[in-house]
Structures are given as C-alpha cells and as structure tokens.
Amino acid sequence: MANVDVKIINHSANSLPEYVTSGSSGMDIRADLTTAQVIQPLERVLIPTGLFIELPEGYEIQIRPRSGLAIKQGITCLNTPGTIDADYRGEIKIILINLSREEQVIQPGDRIAQMIIQSVEKCNWIQVEEIATTSRNAGGFGHTGKQ
C-alpha cells in the first residue's frame, strides 16, 4: 500500500479526516455545521465539511456511506460512490438522504461519510468491428442468479 501526499485546507472546527485503524481503507469525514441539521424522511440535504483538497493528478476521492448511519438511522449518501476529481478545488460537500420513516438529526461534527483515495487508470479507446465472446456474452441484470 502506497501513501500519497494530499494538500488540504480545513475551514471547519473538526479534526482532519484520519484512518481509525491500521486496516482502514476509508477516513471518516465530519459535518461542518453551526447548528443541527434535521433531515425529514426521504429528504436530501447537502452537508458542508469545510474541507478543500488538492489531489495529485492520477487520483480520485470516493465518498461512501457510513454503515453505522445507514443501519442505525437510515441515512446514506446519494450518488454513491461520489467522485471527487483531481482538478476539483471547491469545498467537499456530502449529499445525504434519510431513508427512514422518522426525521433524523445531524449534529455539528458528526461523522457523515467515508473518504477513500484511489488511483485512477485512464483508457485509450481502440475502435474495432468485433469484440471477443464469453460464456456470459450479453447476459446481465441477474441472469446468473436464481431462475
């Protein structure tokens, strides 16, 4: 596993995202709120983090839900995984949705999502007239599961 240097500005009162254990692949990121944010059932909200990054070319950040929020409160991230490109310099904001039947509350400093840094491969398209066949071919949308 390689480490990559990433420049970060933190305008929030929260600590920087960090790996909680040596085996963690994601870093928790926290809500940069001045007051609690109530999320009604099926409501979508955009939560600021106060974080701005300069990611090196060839990397992306993926934003993923936190399993604890999902199972305990029914809160998850939309557009998952969300992608933050290397050339984005705006504030990182998290799209949350409340999938529970009750209103939920996000407090200032709550851990709201996970941030994963990934290397990115770019492709060169090679336009052809045919592609190789496989045993699966065009089968999709559950065709290998129950009949």
9-42: per-residue pLDDT in tens? 999 999 999 999 989 999 999 999 999 999 999 9
125: Cα separation from own chain's centroid: 27
pTM for this prediction: 0.87
Cα radius of gyration rounded to whole Å, the chain: 19
**64 close to 77: Cβ distance less than 8 angstroms:** yes
Phi, psi of 44 (to 5 degrees): -105, 140
Q: And the tokens for 23?
A: 């085996």
Q: Give pLDDT tens digits for 90-107.
A: 999 999 999 999 999 999
Q: In CATH, what number does 7-119 get?
A: 2.70.40.10
The string of DSSP letters for the chain reads ------EEEE-SSSPPP--SSTT---EEEE---SS-EEE-TT-EEEEE--EEEEPPTTEEEEEE--HHHHHHH-EEESSSSEEE-TT--S--EEEEEE-SSS-EEEPTT-EEEEEEEEE---------S-----SSTT--SSTTS--
